[in-house]
Structure 1
Amino acid sequence: MNLEIYENRKNEVEYFLKILEIYEIKMMEGDEEFLNLHNNLGVTFIEYLKIMKSSCILIIYNFIESTISSLMRYIYEEFNKEKLNFEKTCIEIRKLYLERLAGDSFNKTANHQTYLKLIEEISRKIIEKDIIELDEKTFSISGNIDGEYIAQISKKLGLKFHTKSKAIYKDNDFYIGKIKDARNKLAHGEESFIEKGQMYSTSDLRRYFLETCTIFEDLQKEFINYVKDKKYLK
């Protein structure tokens, strides 16, 4: 498994957090010369620091989404190399495959004929032993990654995922989903960068980051074992 993307994005977050920590030290030391450099266009240094903290939220979420995308791509690529048909795969992969084939067929505008065509197509593919392929459309991401999402994709692959981090659970103070929610409010303009940034200390952001790293490192091990043990087989 290529962990280069993971390490690069992880280093980006670490670099940004270190900048925030340096800025906070400068503020506590009362380094007027440094602070005045960041007073511009009516924005004070303290407000600038809040903007930086909000930016850090975006960077952490970028790390979250890129890691999940990379892990899923690893599963797809390794699975597709096997050139498996329906009867050779486990029940979880079969379900994913059928959901993928169904696509938008099961919606309000679908009619009886649509369902018949879908059944015919699925039957043909199974009878003719078509090769199953998974791709990025198997799981939708689009700004929705939280603890529930991670548990859901694990379950759909037939994994019983466990992590040392309690931040996978909603009732935890550093629940990974809070980063998703904060990111979405910033992205959709519901809160300004100053408003959102004032809600976090740099130590809070670092804790979110560390918990996220723990979750992903445990998830990586789970996914690597999934491929190594070929758990996608019947």
Structure 2
Amino acid sequence: MTDNLLEMQYSKRLNEIKTMMDFIDRMLLLPRLTPTFQMSLNIQKSSTALLIYNLMESTVSTSFTNILDSIVDNNVSYADVSDPFQEIWLDLNFMDTFDVSSSFTSYRNRTQQIITKILNNKSTNFLSFSNSVTQWQLPGGNIDAEQINKLCKSFGISFKVPIEISRDAGVLKTIKDKRNQLGHGDYSFDEIGRSITVEDLRSWTNEVDEYLKCLISAITVFIDNRKYCLFPENLITQQKSN
């Protein structure tokens, strides 16, 4: 996915959150005469928390996928990428041998295929990450600041959020926990909504928005400077000459 598509996707999801917040604000102007009204309001607040988490997870997944797409688009070989991406590619190529029924022969044959790919000077030497699940992708419901920092570290990305935006990004964990409580059925939408104020939602939205924009910026710089390469200046020079 290109940066433009990421930006469009991000804007769409952020607008969904803002639309829901506008709806909640209009609800608050109505007379609250029945328990049903309060339950409806609580459900809307819980749904908004889910929308915020959806923004987090989709942005993180797409941003890191963009790095792999850039490697593929620029025809980078195994020998030219840095260690983290060599490991991701190797894990990807061993994926279908991770089975209890796999034999020594299966592992040996796959190893031979991988070595051949690496040593081959033809186009097969270029890396491909398409249509596969790789080790960096996390199961749904696990995205928070700790996991994002681990991803950045494993990819070799320098990422730090200014204190004025988020001191410890604990709000991301709070939102993740709310999402999982709803997703696992531990609490109802009404129950979770009671524990969330409208001001909470506004504060969470603002902080998550600023946090994710910092992440997108860091990954964009990483991609633009081809930091996934062992010698990124060589690839950039080559592209300019072409």
List runs of 5+ in structure 2 lacking aligned partners: 231-242
Q: Which residue of 1 aligns with 2:148?
A: 150
Superimposed CA distance per residue, residues 124-143 of structure 1 (whole angstroms, 9 cap, x where no aligned partner): 11111421022462332441
Structure 1 residue 114 corresponds to structure 2 residue 78? no
CA distance in 2, matches of 1:134, 1:168: 33
Contact preservation (8 Å) 1:53, 1:202: yes
| Distance change >3 Å, CA 121–CA 57, structure 1 → 2 | same
**Identical amino acids, percent of aligned pairs:** 26
Query: 1:122-137 counterparts in 2 under 5 A?
Result: 122-129=114-121, 130-135=125-130, 137=133
Counterpart of 1:9 (choices 13, 31, 38) is 13
Name the residue aligned to 1:160: 158
Q: Deviations over 1:46-69 (max 9, x none)?
A: 121111111111111121122123
Partner residue of 1:98?
90
Q: Which residue of 2 aligns with 1:62?
A: 54
Question: How many angstroms apart in 2 are the aligned matches of 1:162 and 1:53?
Answer: 30
Number of residue-to-residue matches in the alignment: 218
Q: Whole-Å Cα distance in 1 between the matches of residues 12 and 113 of structure 2?
A: 43
Which whole-Å CA distance do the structure 2 matches of 1:127 and 1:79 have between them?
18
Q: What whole-Å deviation, never above 9, does each CA across 1:1-50 have from its counterpart, x for those lacking one?
A: 211111111111112123223333x2xxxx53xx35xx5xxx52112111
Distance 1:162 1:187, change over 3 A: same
Shift of the 163–52 alpha-carbon distance from structure 1 to 2, 3 Å rule, reads same
2:27 to 23, 26, 32: 23
User: Is 1:193 aligned with 2:189?
Assistant: yes
Partner residue in 2 for 1:77: 69
Give yes or no for contact 1:96–1:156 (8 Å, CA) kept in 2.
no
Q: Distance in 1 between matches of 2:113 and 2:175?
A: 41
Comparing 107-116 with 143-152, which one deviates more in the overlay?
A: 107-116
Measured against aligned partners, the alpha-carbon deviations of 1:182-227 in whole angstroms (never above 9, x if no partner) come to 2122123221111111111111122222221121111111111111
Gaps of at least 5 residues in structure 1 are none
Aligned 8 A contact 1:5 1:70 in 2: no
Query: For residue 177 of structure 2, what is the aligned residue in structure 1?
Result: 181
